[in-house]
Amino acid sequence: MLSSRIQPVEQLAESSWFPFSDEPVIQGLWYVPRLSCPVFLFPEDAPDGKWHLFAHSWLGIQHYVSGSGIMWEPMGLVQVRGKYPFLFKEKGAFHIIYERHGRRIPFVEHVTKRMKKSYVVGSHIEMRSSNDLSVWSEPRILLEAKDIPSASDYRKTPTVSHPQVIPAEGGYRMYVGSSKIGSDPASTRYVCTAFSETLDGRYVPESQLPLVEAVPNDPFRSLGTGRMCVYKGNDSYVAIQNSRYWDAGRKRHASAIVLLTSSDGLQWQRAERDPVLVPAERGWASEHIMSSDVRYKQDEACWYCYFSATGERRFGLVRESIGLLIGKPRAPRKPSSSPDSLFEES
C-alpha cells in the first residue's frame, strides 16, 4: 500500500475476479521451492518506471523486476532470512517492513558494531528504507514479539508476522499477526495492532487482546486469521484476509481470500459476498491461498492482486508460487466448468 494515494476500496466488494492464467506468474526454482507473501509496485510508483515485486523464500526477501507485470526477473536478496514483507511509501522514500528472527549468519549477514549492540534473536519486526529500491538502510527494530501478549499463545516462543503500517490519527498504526496455527504451511492465528507517533519509532500494542481472531461459525474463518492486509478509502476501510478454515468436504485445513469491511479500521466484519478465491480442485493452488496484495491501477480501471498459494509437492516438499488475479466491476459470465479453475463463480 502507498500512503500517498487513496484507493477506491469501496469497489472491492463489488468486483469480480478473473485469473490472469491458470499457471503462476512466478515459480520457485529447485533450490527455492516456496515464494510467499508478494507485495508490489506499479511502474508509475517506482523510481525507474518498472514493476517491482518483493516476496520471501527460505533464503529471505527476494526482489523481482518486470517490464510488464507478467514476466519477472530476479534481482537478488534484500534481507537474509527476512519474511512477510510489506512496502510503504512516504515522501518519496520506500520502506520495507518485515519479520525476522534467529542468530546472525557469519560471513553472510553484514552487521555493523551499532547493529550488534541492538541485535534481537527472537521474532521481531524490522524496517529498512531506500530512495531507489536498490540500496537499503540498516535495519531498525519496530516491534518485538515478546511485547505482544497473544504472540505466545500455543507456542514455546512468541512469534509475530505479516506487519503492515498505515497512517492513523497522531501517528501510525501497525497491523501485525501473532502466534500461528497449523504447519507446513502455518498461518497467523490472530491479528493485533500497535501504535507509534513516528514511522520508524518503537510501536506499542494498543490492546492486550487480539483485534481479529478466528470466527468458529464462519465457514471460511473458523481456524485462524491468516494474513490481513488493510486498505483505507475516503470514509471506510477494507481488508483482504487470507483466512484459515476447516474444509469439511476435503476433511483438511484450507485457506481462502475473503473481504472484511470496517468504518474505523478497528471493528471488522466479513463482506456479504462469496470469497474472492478458494483453493482449486487440483493443481498448484489447490491447498492454501497463503497471502495476497491488492492495488488499483487507475489507467486500466481494474485491481491487480498478486497472491501466493500451495498445492503441489515435489520430492516431499511443499511448493508455493505466485499467481495473479484481475478485479473488475461485476458482470454476468458463464460459470467455469473446469476442475482446474482457480475459483468458482459467484
Domain locations in the chain?
Answer: 9-329
pLDDT-based confidence at 295, cuts 50/70/90? very high
* CB within 8 Å of 161: residues ≥ 6 apart: 83, 84, 99, 123, 176, 177, 178, 180, 188, 227
User: What does the alpha-carbon distance between residue 235 and residue 258 come to, in Å, rounded to a whole number?
Assistant: 21
Does the structure show a pLDDT above 70 at 236? yes
Q: Which pLDDT score, from 0 to 100, does residue 6 have? A: 60
Cα–chain center distance at 115: 27
Q: Name the β-bridge partners of 204.
A: 195
Q: Which pLDDT score, from 0 to 100, does residue 1 have? A: 53
Write down the CATH superfamily of domain 9-329.
Glycosyl hydrolase domain; family 43 (2.115.10.20)
Give yes or no for a contact between 55 and 308, defined as CB atoms under 8 angstroms apart. Answer: yes
Q: What is the mean pLDDT of residues 303-308?
A: 97
**pLDDT digit string, tens, across residues 149-202:** 999 999 999 999 999 999 999 999 999 999 999 988 999 999 999 999 999 999
Neighbours of 94 (CB within 10 A): 21
Does the structure show a pLDDT above 80 at 68? yes
Q: Which amino acid is at 11?
A: Q
Q: What average pLDDT does the structure give for the chain?
A: 91
Q: Which amino acid is at 249?
A: G
For residues 310-327, one letter each, b for 16 or more C-beta atoms within 10 angstroms of the residue's C-beta and e for the rest, the string is bbbeeeeeebbbbbbbbb
User: What does the alpha-carbon distance between residue 242 and residue 253 come to, in Å, rounded to a whole number?
Assistant: 13
Q: Which pLDDT score, from 0 to 100, does residue 345 have? A: 46
Q: Which pLDDT score, from 0 to 100, does residue 119 have? A: 80
Angle, vertex CA 68, rays to CA 67 and CA 73, nearest 5? 55
Angle, vertex CA 124, rays to CA 266 and CA 309, nearest 5? 70
Neighbours of 244 (CB within 10 A): 29
User: What does the alpha-carbon distance between residue 119 and residue 104 come to, in Å, rounded to a whole number?
Assistant: 9
Grid cell digits, residue 223: 481456524
User: What does the alpha-carbon distance between residue 100 and residue 84 come to, in Å, rounded to a whole number?
Assistant: 9
